[in-house]
Structure formats: structure tokens, C-alpha cells
Structure 1
């Protein structure tokens, strides 16, 4: 997700994430953006930009969890901007945190995150480590990836997503965004806080930002956002491959604006304990228009259905009690 400085954003800087014991919601789940979601011990965790009580608290990250997708518990602040010692090394007057991605390996938890602005200084990606998903996370001490103008064009170092391949055991970092709209992939070192090598990949059609990787039945799904983050053309597209690094077969658009919800994107796919799949994403809950969209984005959760050929059916956005619940998703599949 690309950050742009606007007056309404300035008024939201410094708004603290709510730390109340719990919040209850249907669809949309809560206010926030860029949700990275995963199942941890049969509980859904969401790591967003912002969260309940004030989106765009751009100086910290929090986490939220639920066992039923109705009642959400705050896990508190997991990393603050003032804990990142290198953040001011670029000399920029202000810095913002957004688009977290979380991975786990060998009993440790890794929080990958974007640091803006992109201009006039390059955007950067950092990583922090913890012993538990709720932290506290300890920053690695240096940026993992730096954006800016490269030999083959502009690269915006945002929207990191780490994927540990269940088949090979290799870990990959996917990143890239609007400036240049270029996807880059690296194999991570075993320590998960260093880069072993960059992996050349083809650019998937209609890629803008927000890459996510998941694997199902031996098929690797690269999904990503297309369009402008604050306009109705923001949408989710996907491609498939037989490996996590391609080559990609473009499969089309699966999530787009409708009459009541605009600009859905920056998403995660999650497999439930029952064996079903969900998509967690952000959207604006307002009628169609030309944009730019105003107000706060909302996190929502909807069902994903796959065809016998491995394709993903177009996703219908739901409201209220039409949203999925964990106990009602389906019976466990062996």
C-alpha cells in the first residue's frame, strides 16, 4: 500500500491503537488496513496497519486475535517506531510504518514492515524478531531492503510478505509497490533476517503492490493488488505456478468494487482448522464514485472457493452476519 501525505492523514498520526480487552464485530471486522492474517493454535490473528480505535497510527504496530471471527482481542502494541534505531538514518523529516507481514520459523516470529516515505528518500523494509506472535519484537538493527532508483528502473520497497515453502523448506520474501509497480523476490537466509540471494521472477500481469503467496494441493498462488490504493479500481488479481517463484500463469481478477464496497485489496489467504479458505482484506464501505476515496478503510473477511481446476472463483463481499465464523465454516477435512 502506497502512503501519500494528506491533511486528513496528518490528523491521524500519533493516534494510539486501542488496548481494550476485546471488540465485537461482524463484517467489516474493524477499522484498519493492509491486514496480514494467519491461524495460530486455532485462533485467527490479524496484524494490520492501524486497527480498532484509530487507523493510521503510523508510529506503531498492533495485533488482534479471535477464535470465532466475532469477538476480537487486542494483543497490544508489538513494535513502535522509536524502537527502530536506524529509521532516521535517511535524514527524512518524518517516517511512517505500514503493511506488516509476519512469519514463523524454528520457534521464532518475524515481523516484516514498510518504512516510508518513498520520496524524497527511498522507502525501506525492516524486520524484527520475537519469541511469541504478540512480541515484544526486537528490530534486527538495519534495513533488510532499500528502495529507490535501481539499474532496471524505480523500485518501491513496501508491502513485504514472507513465505516458508512447506515443500522445500526455503523461505522467500516478496515485496514491491506502486512506484515502478515491480515485484521482487529474495530467498531469505536461514536466520530470516538476511537475504541469501535475489531470485529473478517474471512480472505478473496487472501487478501493482501487496503480493501474497499461499500453497494449496501443490499449486502456488501469487495474489496481489492492482490499481490505485485510494480509488475504486483497486482490486485483487492472481496467478498460479508449480513453484513459489513461478513461472506465473495469470488467472485474472477475483475481488473488485461493487455497489456498496470500494477499493478492496491488500489481503491475506488463510486456511481454517476446518480446511476451508478465507480472504482477509481491507475496503472502503461506501457507494461507488470516482475517488480518491476518503475516510477510514475497514478490514473484512470473506470465503474463498476453488474450482476443480485450481482456479479461484470471484469473491463476493459480505456484510454483517453474512460474514464467515470459524465454528460454522465446515467440518474438518482429513
Structure 2
């Protein structure tokens, strides 16, 4: 009898173990994949989730980008070196913060390179093109799309937004300034606004860098990063407007460090699940064990809204999100 009871106990424990294993596989976990990756651009292409991050390393080593794809937010495939400085001849270092969009039967990847500090240096925001979301991407223009400072904005941290009417907007800028510009449909340049200007400043309160825009229920949600990217105070705040041009008045922070989990949570993007009112925020953060500014990893959490359409504060987790197939 004791042997039978012991056998049943072992079977029961085995079932618990199996259930825990299945449960753990049903969630993404954080980080989503191994390696130091930051500034993740997350989007849906070809019925898969894609993440295009910065390879987080010293600037002279930051000369290529990988991409990651997943059918369900849990299982990720790495696509190595989808773009590098060998294919972008004018870029020599500090390739970062990609933004990718599909149009004209091609994939366009916007990126920053060279970390220019003045108009006397060559670099800025470039555009690359590929036939597949995993690349390889090649230079679209043979030169930067933006290579100068306008309205005090360093030409970095670009994000491309397509409005419902088909107009493409470029949001970008470091050094606490954010510009917006209307892109030509072939991404070879810009369309002037009615007043003749190309770049308009739309900087909200406390803006530092990393703009991102999405649309929900007719409202434009403009998000950005605050604080210093190497410090624990890095965070994400947002505003809401009836227009892609703003005005954007800061509402408050929705993503920041949790001293029990990680620091430096910021520079994010948002996944909108096609056909559903379901959203995820993909961002980078620094493990508590790490002090190096480049030790950043890509993570994901659920993004929720209240009845008024305001974004609820994001809860940092090690569990991540549950499996979600497209």
C-alpha cells in the first residue's frame, strides 16, 4: 500500500512538473532573446511579429543590426546582420534605433548612423530597402535622408508613421528636441507643409529622445523617452492628440524602472495586434546585475488602457506575456 501511495505521489508530482513546464512555455519570459539589444522596433509583417533592435555595444562596434521574428511572441528566430556598414557606405559607426515599414512592395528600414554632433560631421538618418523583412537591406539613397540639425534636434531616433489617409510622417530627434516631417511616398525626401516648412518642432514637456506614435479610436498617442539612457531614471511618457501634428501635451510616465526587477526601462515601441484592440509594449531595460550602459536587453509587457483611453502604468515582469498567435 505504501508503494502504491508513493507511486501515485510521484505521478502527481510529475503532472505538476509537466503543467509548470507547459505554463512556462506559454509565456515569453523577459528578456525575449539572449544578447544585448536596445531600442526595439516591433511590428507585424507577413503574419509574424518582428523586432528590429539596436545591437547594444560601444559605438565603434555598433556597425550592424540583427532582427528577430516570432509566430507567437514566445518562440523567436534570430536573423543575423540584416544590415551593416558594408552596405551603407557613408555609415561608419553607431547604427541604431531602426524603424521599419512596408510599402511599394518593399521593406524600408530607417536608421541613425555616426552619432553626428554638429553640421560639420557627416551622418544622420538614412533609409535602406529590402524585398524581405529579414533583408538583406541595401542603401536606398546612397546618402543620409537627414544630415543636419534642424530646430536643435540631433538627427537620430527616427520613427515612421503611416496615417489612415496614406500619408507617411517622420518623427525624430535627440538632444531634447523632436521634429515632424511629411515623407514622400518613395522615401526619397520630404513634402513641405502648407507654410513651406519641411521640419516642424513638436517637442513636448520633458522630451529627450525615442519618439513613437500609434493610433487608437481616432486618437494619436505620441510617446517618447525621458531621462538619461545610461541611468536608472530612463523612462517613457506620452501625450494624446486629435492630429498627428499635435499639439502634444504631456500626460505622464507609463514605463519606468522597478528597483526589484530592472533599471533604465525605455526607448520602446508598441505592437498593435491586427484586427484586435490588443497592444504590447516592447522596450529595453538593464538587469540589476549590470552597470555598463550598453548592457541592455529587449523585453515585452502588456499595454492596457482605462475607460477614458488613458494608458495604464506598465508593470515590469520577468514573466513577459502569454503566447499570442496571429
Quickly name the TM-score band, shorter chain normalised: 0.7 to 0.9
Separation (CA, whole Å) in 2 of partners of 1:103 and 1:25: 24
CA contact (8 A) 1:63 1:75 kept: yes
Hey, what does 1:129 align to over in structure 2? 129
Q: What stretches of structure 1 move > 3 A for 4+ residues in a row?
A: 54-57, 291-295
Question: Is this contact kept in 1: 2:38–2:283, CA < 8 A?
Answer: yes
Who is 1:35 aligned against?
A: 40
Verify the 8 A CA contact 2:229 2:293 in the aligned structure 1: no
**Are 2:174 and 1:177 equivalent residues in the alignment?**
yes
Alignment of 1:145-294 (within 5 A): 145-148=146-149, 150=150, 152=151, 154-166=152-164, 168-178=165-175, 181-197=176-192, 198-259=198-259, 260-273=261-274, 274-286=276-288, 294=293
Q: What's 2:70 paired with?
A: 66
Q: CA RMSD in A?
A: 2.3
What residue is the counterpart of 2:90 in the other structure?
86
Distance 2:43 2:172 in 1: 18
Distance 1:138 1:295 in 2: 26
In 1, Cα distance between equivalents of 2:223 and 2:81:
28
* Unaligned runs of at least 5 residues, structure 2: 1-26, 193-197
- CA deviation vs aligned residue, 1:209-229 (integer Å, no higher than 9, x gap): 000010011010110000100
Q: Structure 1 316/25 Cα, relative in aligned 2: closer, same or farther at 3 Å?
A: closer
Deviation per residue, 1:12-44 (Å, 9 max, x gap): xxxxxxxxxxxx962111331010000123321
- Once the two structures are overlaid, the 10-residue window that deviates more, 220-229 or 185-194, is 185-194
Aligned residues: 287
The one-character-per-residue Cα deviations of 1:33-75 (angstroms, maximum 9, x if unpaired) are: 0100001233210000117xx8975111121111122221012
Aligned residue in 2 for 1:323: 320
Q: Tell me the SS of whatever aligns to 2:177.
A: coil
Structure 2 Cα separation of the partners of residues 250 and 143 of structure 1 = 31
Which deviations, in whole Å up to 9, do the C-alpha atoms of 1:270-326 show, x marking residues without a partner?
A: 112454100000000217xxx97545101000000111211000000110xx31133
Give yes or no for contact 1:231–1:292 (8 Å, CA) kept in 2: no
Alignment partners' CA distance in 2, 1:243 and 1:326: 34
1:77-109 alpha-carbon deviations (Å, 9 max, x no partner): 21110211233xxxxxx5221111111112211
Asked which structure has the greater CA Rg, the reply is 2
Equivalent-residue separation in structure 1 for 2:146 and 2:323 (angstroms)? 36
Cα distance, 1:123–1:251 mapped onto 2, change above 3 Å:
farther
* Alignment correspondent of 2:195: none
Q: Contact 1:233/1:257 (CA < 8 Å) preserved in 2? A: yes
Give the C-alpha shift of residue 201 in structure 1: 4.0
1:7 corresponds to: none
Q: Which secondary structure state, in structure 2, belongs to the residue aligned with residue 231 of structure 1?
A: coil
TM-score by length of 1: 0.80
Higher strand share: 1
Cα deviations by residue, 1:136-192 (Å, 9 ceiling, x for unpaired) = 2120211101134x5x5x3211011101112x21001111013xx100111000102
Aligned partner of residue 61 in structure 1, secondary structure: strand
Please, which runs of 5 or more residues in structure 1 have no aligned partner?
1-23, 88-93
What secondary structure does 2:86 align onto? helix
